[in-house]
Structure 1
Amino acid sequence: MPFQLDRFDLDAFVRATLAEDLGGKGDITCASVIPEDAVFSGVMQSRDAITVAGLPIAEAFFRKLDPGAEVSALVEDGEPVHPGAILMHIRGSARALLTAERSALNTVQHLSGIATLTRRYVDAIAGTGAILLDTRKTLPGLRVLEKYATRMGGATNHRMGLWDAAMIKDNHVAVAGSVGEAVRRAVTAGIERIIVEVDRLEQVEPALDAGATHLLLDNMAPDTLREAVALVGGRVPTEASGGIDLDTIRAKAETGVTYISVGRITQSAPAADIGLDFSPA
């Protein structure tokens, strides 16, 4: 089955990425150094323990420039692999494969880096019942791919954008006048999902009374989170957010919150160390 993501055009992404690299003039290195009929084979290999993401996209880059290329993935996205694991075999036109190499590799390195870091956070809260969420802290133009990578790492997607849920935060409250008033306006507008950020316990009841369907408990210490969860009493899902890292996530997950959102899994993930080594076929 072709690789498909909602609101993502794979062919357009591949074309735009290659166009950026080729600059309308082509790969002058390959054109001058590599014979037109040369055939190369190669392997994509992980140099570290990672969670893989992005292999179908890498394949699309290779096939875009060489539709007849032989591309065989040895693992699936979402799988953990050990250092030295071979992820993919490739064979085809040397010019095409070398031209597509960097675009394909960059994508797999970036997405696998996100999936790998995400998996570390998911493992850190295992057994607590809390669910890891990603955020909208993604690179412009890459949100769908980066959120795909967090899913491969075991997280659940939060809002995909500004369109699929209302999220009332401190600046919205400041303009509206109060938490309750901001929520009432969203309810009046007919919005079904209304996520409300609260950073003080006294904001919990006004938000719920006005119709909030989800509370984001922002920058609360574990003891305060426990109080907030008790106040909510299961009426709506609760979400811990704000400044959470691998050192603090477990304690916050153990407070009973439904979700924990972490911007770091997309903002701060280092690229995975993956190489693509070619040899004459």
Structure 2
Amino acid sequence: MVNETALKELIRLALAEDIGNGDHSTMACIPPTAKGKARLKIKEGGLLAGMQVAETIFRYMDMFTVFTPFKKDGDVMQPGDTAFEVEAAVHTLLMTERLVLNCMQRMSGIATLTRQYVDKLQGYHTRLLDTRKTTPNFRLLEKEAVRIGGGVNHRMGLYDMVMLKDNHIDFAGGITQAVQKTIAYLQQRKLDLKIEVETRNLDDVREALAVGGVDRIMLDNFRPEQIAAALELIKGSCETEASGGITLDNLVDYAKTGVDFISAGAVIHHAVSLDLSLKAVE
């Protein structure tokens, strides 16, 4: 579930961006005491995501909101379905409408695409990871949508796991130097963080194994046959992750290797928002 404190801060900033010094369209023609009801209508098929977020947005503006769900996050949706009804001050409904739709449409698109990847991995050991290729200030909800779609959240940011990528390695002088310096750094600061190392070829894999202290090896832009060769070297001594150039079309080829994880930024940055609408109920 989404961290409530972080979600409320996201909502605060998003509403401030949208409302500014006032929703003059609403204030001009609707009395502040007016109450109303609205219904979220589904106009496009897919996987529903953002129900918890929508309810939190409405209640953030109006603690007396009555939110009646007819579906839950992760449900399959079809055109014509109703996701929820909401009763609140009309000012609340109108000022939050666009934020609710933006969040739910984006999240549902990501969850739907993620589920397509996850479905292809059924029956295989491999699990799907997301990445940090997210929209600034919207990562919280994009990663939640991946989770709803059946994917696994990788690190949330730079702070909750060490990932030594190609640039880190090159600037540090090589894999051995980067890993050794990282281990010393974590020990000095008493940080309990996993270490992942990106490798670009089998020699890099050998070096990552030789230096020790690595929790996961990323096999970047390896072809499936190269993944298989790398797994022979690793022999289960640490987790493995395939990344780069992996699509829905070749996903199963990588899963057949037995790699632990496949990371795919595309589940977020290639996702297309789904069509939803929030309409007043007479």
CA RMSD of aligned residues (A): 1.8
Aligned length: 276
Which of 226, 240, 245 matches 2:228? 226
CA distance in 2, matches of 1:9, 1:194: 26
CA distance in 1, matches of 2:61, 2:168: 48
CA distance in 2, matches of 1:37, 1:168: 56
Higher alpha-carbon deviation: 59-68 or 171-180: 59-68
Which of 235, 249, 252 matches 1:250? 252
1:5 aligns with 2:3: yes
Classify 1:153/1:173 alpha carbon distance in 2 versus 1 (closer, same or farther; 3 Å): same
Match of 2:263 in 1: 261
1:65 aligns with 2:61: yes
Match of 2:127 in 1: 131
Match of 2:202 in 1: 201
CA distance in 1, matches of 2:9, 2:17: 12
Q: Secondary structure at the match of 2:281?
A: strand
Write out per-residue CA displacement over residues 218-263 of structure 1, whole angstroms, 9 at most, x where no aligned residue.
Answer: 0011111111111111111110001222112111111110000000
Which of 40, 43, 56 matches 1:44? 40
Does structure 2 conserve the Cα–Cα contact (< 8 Å) formed by 1:66 and 1:97? no
Q: Secondary structure at the match of 1:159?
A: coil
CA distance in 1, matches of 2:14, 2:193: 37
Write the letter of the residue equivalent to 1:195: E
User: Once the 2 structures are TM-superposed, how far is the Cα of residue 63 of structure 1 from its aligned partner?
Assistant: 2.4
CA distance in 2, matches of 1:39, 1:192: 50
Q: Secondary structure at the match of 1:239?
A: strand
CA distance in 1, matches of 2:197, 2:59: 45
* Structure 1: runs of 5+ lacking an equivalent: none
Match of 2:12 in 1: 15
Match of 2:83 in 1: 87
Match of 1:217 in 2: 219
Write the letter of the residue equivalent to 1:159: R
TM-score, normalisation: structure 2: 0.92
Does structure 1 conserve the Cα–Cα contact (< 8 Å) formed by 2:30 and 2:90? yes
* Structure 2: runs of 5+ lacking an equivalent: none
Q: Secondary structure at the match of 1:9?
A: helix
User: Once the 2 structures are TM-superposed, how far is the Cα of residue 49 of structure 1 from its aligned partner?
Assistant: 2.0
Does structure 2 conserve the Cα–Cα contact (< 8 Å) formed by 1:134 and 1:156? yes
Higher alpha-carbon deviation: 242-251 or 37-46: 37-46
User: Once the 2 structures are TM-superposed, how far is the Cα of residue 42 of structure 1 from its aligned partner?
Assistant: 2.0
Classify 1:35/1:192 alpha carbon distance in 2 versus 1 (closer, same or farther; 3 Å): closer
- Amino-acid identity (%): 39
User: Once the 2 structures are TM-superposed, how far is the Cα of residue 154 of structure 1 from its aligned partner?
Assistant: 0.5
Q: Secondary structure at the match of 1:180?
A: helix
User: Once the 2 structures are TM-superposed, how far is the Cα of residue 158 of structure 1 from its aligned partner?
Assistant: 0.9
Classify 1:102/1:222 alpha carbon distance in 2 versus 1 (closer, same or farther; 3 Å): same
TM-score, normalisation: structure 1: 0.92
Higher alpha-carbon deviation: 174-183 or 211-220: 174-183
Write the letter of the residue equivalent to 1:53: A
Match of 1:274 in 2: 276
CA distance in 2, matches of 1:113, 1:4: 18
Does structure 1 conserve the Cα–Cα contact (< 8 Å) formed by 2:129 and 2:263? yes
Match of 1:171 in 2: 167
Does structure 2 conserve the Cα–Cα contact (< 8 Å) formed by 1:66 and 1:93? yes
CA distance in 1, matches of 2:7, 2:207: 44
CA distance in 2, matches of 1:123, 1:232: 27
Higher alpha-carbon deviation: 258-267 or 157-166: 157-166
Write out per-residue CA displacement over residues 66-106 of structure 1, whole angstroms, 9 at most, x where no aligned residue.
Answer: 33222111122122223322111112322321221111111
Match of 2:183 in 1: 187
Does structure 1 conserve the Cα–Cα contact (< 8 Å) formed by 2:216 and 2:239? yes
